[in-house]
């Protein structure tokens, strides 16, 4: 069977980190797709081929994608890319930087990304399209839901649950057994000692709910 081509979606900052990790893994990336970049440009020697429309001529069964879209609170581009291309039959490669540590019986689902220096301890589960970013720590028996994002240097203590699409900011600490609800936001540097409701925003030490500004 022919080797499936791997293509990186997006060419921003997070995409560069994803590409760097894939190259460190020894993965050959065939090209980059981003409407904001000109064909012929390159990142780390990998050429930009065009926008997402370039995939119209590719057979999904012969192609794997890497999601290079970053994540900001309340944004859905990363999830939309994943779900949109999955609906078209494309698969996503998971990213595991060689410097990351993954414990026994940990599970990394399709399209998950574990970046440089991260630790995923035993029996933890990382959902589809979820990110455990640089030097983040996910301890034993944690569950990180689909499309969730654990920021650089964040710490999830044992048996923490992070819901679908939730965002845990850089340097935040979530104490053992705490649940962070779906689409909730934990601000950078927060110390979370109590469950965070679905869709809530919490910040501070100890973390407390905050009202978001209306547009």
What CATH number is attached to the domain comprising 72?
3.40.50.20
Band the pLDDT of 212: cuts 50, 70, 90: low
C-beta pairs of 183-192 under 8 Å, 24+ apart in sequence: 183/74, 185/73, 185/74, 188/151
Average pLDDT of the chain? 94
Q: Model's pTM, two decimal places?
A: 0.94
Q: Which of 59, 78, 93 is the last residue of a domain?
A: 93
- CB distance 131 to 108 below 8 Å: no
Phi/psi class of residue 98: alpha, beta or left (left: φ > 0; alpha: ψ in -120 to 50)? alpha
- Range scoring the smallest mean pLDDT among 133-137, 187-191, 203-207: 203-207
**In a shared domain, residues 85 and 123:** no
Q: What is the pLDDT of residues 73-94, one digit of tens each?
A: 777 889 999 999 999 999 999 9
Both tokens of 187, joined, read 């601000």
Per-residue pLDDT, averaged over 144-164, amounts to: 98
pLDDT given at position 4: 75
Q: Give the total number of structural domains in the chain.
A: 2
CATH number (domain holding residue 133): 2.160.10.10
- Residue among 74, 66, 122, 76 nearest 96 (CA): 66
Q: Residue 37's domain spans which residues?
A: 5-93
Domain end marker among 60, 93, 126: 93
Residue 209 in any domain: the answer is no
At which of 50, 76, 93 does a domain end?
93
Q: Which two tokens stand for residue 85?
A: 């291309």
Residues 19 and 47 in one domain: yes
Contact 62, 76 (CB under 8 A): no
- The reply to whether 103 and 197 lie within a common domain is yes
155 in a structural domain: yes
Residues 197 and 119 in one domain: yes
Per-residue pLDDT of 40-52, as tens digits, reads 899 999 999 999 8
Residue 182: which residues within 8 A CB-CB, separation 6 or more?
145, 163, 164, 165, 166, 198, 199
- 74 and 102 assigned to the same domain: no
Q: 108 and 83 in one domain?
A: no
What band does 1 get if pLDDT is binned at 50, 70 and 90? very low
The span from the CA of 76 to the CA of 164, in Å, is 12
Contact 169, 186 (CB under 8 A): yes
DSSP SS3 for 186: strand
pLDDT at 2: 44
Q: How many helices (H) and strands (E) does the chain have?
A: 2, 25
Residue 173 has pLDDT above 80, yes or no: yes
- pLDDT of 57 reads 77
**Are the C-beta atoms of 121 and 103 separated by less than 8 Å?**
yes
């Amino acid at each position: 069977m022919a080797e499936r081509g791997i293509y990186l979606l997006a060419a921003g900052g997070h995409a560069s980190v994803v590409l760097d990790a894939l190259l460190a893994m020894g993965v050959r990336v065939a090209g980059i797709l981003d409407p904001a970049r000109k064909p012929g440009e390159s990142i780390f020697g990998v050429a930009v081929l065009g926008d997402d429309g370039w995939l119209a001529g590719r057979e999904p069964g012969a192609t794997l994608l890497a999601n290079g879209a970053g994540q900001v609170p309340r944004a859905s581009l990363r999830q939309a890319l994943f779900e949109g291309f999955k609906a078209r039959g494309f698969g996503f490669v998971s990213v595991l930087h060689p410097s990351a540590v993954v414990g026994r019986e940990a599970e990394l689902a399709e399209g998950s990304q574990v970046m440089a220096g991260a630790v995923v301890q035993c029996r933890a589960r990382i959902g589809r399209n979820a990110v455990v970013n640089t030097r983040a720590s996910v301890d034993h028996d944690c569950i990180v839901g689909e499309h969730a994002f654990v920021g650089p240097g964040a710490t999830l203590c044992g048996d923490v649950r992070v819901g679908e699409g939730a965002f845990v900011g850089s340097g935040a600490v979530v104490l053992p057994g705490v649940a962070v609800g779906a689409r909730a936001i934990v601000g950078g540097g927060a110390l979370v000692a109590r469950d965070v409701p679905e869709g809530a925003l919490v910040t501070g030490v100890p973390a407390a709910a905050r009202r978001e500004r209306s547009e």
